[in-house]
Chain A
Amino acid sequence: MKQKAMILSIIGLIALFGNWIGYKVSPIEALPGIIIIVVVTLIGWSLTEYLPFKIPAVVWISLLALLITSPALPGNSFFAEQTAKINFMALATPILAYAGLSFGKDVDSFKKLSWRIVIVSLVVYTGTFLFATLFAEIVFKIQGRF
């Protein structure tokens, strides 16, 4: 957990730089927001680790973040305002940079794959994205929402 806290803080710090360059929010102004996000992540993770029943960390972290910013909780506007200063794309850039840096380990197994599986994988991603979009659109149209 101590190591996780360390890594999360480093990534948070890197995101502050990205948020500064890309979205012109000074790191000092965005600091409380990123601290809130890091602390929520750590608490969510501890819940997964120490509670007797097993629920994935993603669920705890989402629920916790949702709860502290929801209108149901007093003080929610403070949390919502501070975390809003971190652009979600600024936070995603370092994450995908780590993904990129781990690419090399899969290149060898990829070279062994046939062209068929490559095509099928693209079709599979297209299918899930396209059908969900289509279904959402159809329901919105039926409801006359747009």
Chain B
Amino acid sequence: MKEGTRNHLKIHLLVLGLVIVTEFIGQKKIDLGIGVLALFPMLYALVIGGVISWPSFKWVKEKEMKLAANVLGIAFMLFVAKLGTMLGPSLPKLFEAGLSLTVQEIGHFIGTIILGLPIALLIGMKREAIGATFSIDREPNLAIISEKYGADSPEGRGALGVYICGTLFGAIYLALLAGFLGSTGIFHPISLAMGAGVGSGSMMAAASGALAVTFPEAADDIAVFAGAANLITTIIGTYVCIFFSLPVTEKLYQWLEPILGRSKKTADPVEGKSL
């Protein structure tokens, strides 16, 4: 057997094993008193998969990890197609909620900046904060930043830092956050579902999964509205980031940095070697 084929076989068999084991475990809800943690198969698969690929164990070769990442890109499209088939029959329902769907998109785009930029400045980031907070920093956003500032600029490194964090724990974090917020009863499940459409496939899948576990009676509607919001975020995302998010973040930085920024420059806020 050729090495490429063997790598393929190993990765797919590992995934099959993970799916069988995690689906057998099934959904669990853990009540923390102030809210409920929603745990479910795709989260276990993500975490156990991560442990299996942990470099020190040497169970999975670098080449196989890259292969898994490539397959991931292809696999996502199946999920996109599945969500599409849920959107079709729900079109009337989606049009009815059209105004909410439109307005919540503004929340997706300004939310990263409004909350992220001040906090980044308060903990001592400089221009790294622009790249880190102008968007959720997935692949298309990285391209926008490197084109404008260069990949090795402070802005570029800020964006790359958030990208790496997002790849490693973005999905898990959003799932826990969505499940927790859902269980507090502050927001309606459909509002939360739209919130889950952040524009990254894995984060959206995990967050809407957590909501579906928290509100089983609304599971299908949650997938529909999260899928719709995610599709809109993805389609308009690049344009919004180029013409709105990036210039606005830059302006806000110039205004807020003298007020919130620390006067002494932090050694290296992204790669904290000297800390």
Mark A residues whose CB is within 8 Å of B.
4, 7-8, 10-12, 14-15, 17-18, 21-22, 36-38, 40-41, 44-45, 56-59, 61-71, 76, 79-80, 83-84, 86, 88-110, 112-140, 143, 145-146
Contact = CB atoms under 8 A, between A and B. Distances in A.
A95 B77 CA distance: 10
B107 A131 contact: yes
B43 A115 contact: no
A56 B234 CA distance: 10
Contacts, number: 415
Main secondary structure of the interface of B (DSSP, over half): helix
Given A120-B132, A127-B111, A97 B167 contact: no
28 contacts: A7-B71, A15-B78, A18-B41, A21-B23, A22-B41, A65-B81, A68-B85, A79-B88, A83-B85, A93-B22, A93-B42, A94-B19, A97-B14, A102-B65, A102-B66, A102-B69, A113-B165, A120-B119, A120-B162, A124-B137, A125-B203, A127-B111, A128-B111, A128-B199, A135-B100, A139-B104, A140-B97, A143-B100
A36 B85 contact: yes
B239 interface: no
Contacts of A40: 81, 84-85
B: contact size bracket? 35 or more
Interface in B112-136: 112-116, 119-120, 123-125, 128-129, 132-133, 136
B65 to A, nearest CB: 4
The list of the 3 closest CB pairs from A to B, nearest first, reads A100-B49, A65-B84, A114-B272
Interface of B: 11-12, 14-16, 18-20, 22-24, 26, 40-43, 45-50, 52-55, 60, 62, 64-66, 68-69, 71-72, 74-89, 91-92, 97, 99-101, 103-116, 119-120, 123-125, 128-129, 132-133, 136-137, 158, 161-162, 164-168, 170-171, 173-174, 177-178, 181, 187-188, 190-192, 194-199, 201-203, 205-209, 212, 223, 229, 231, 234-235, 266, 268-273, 275
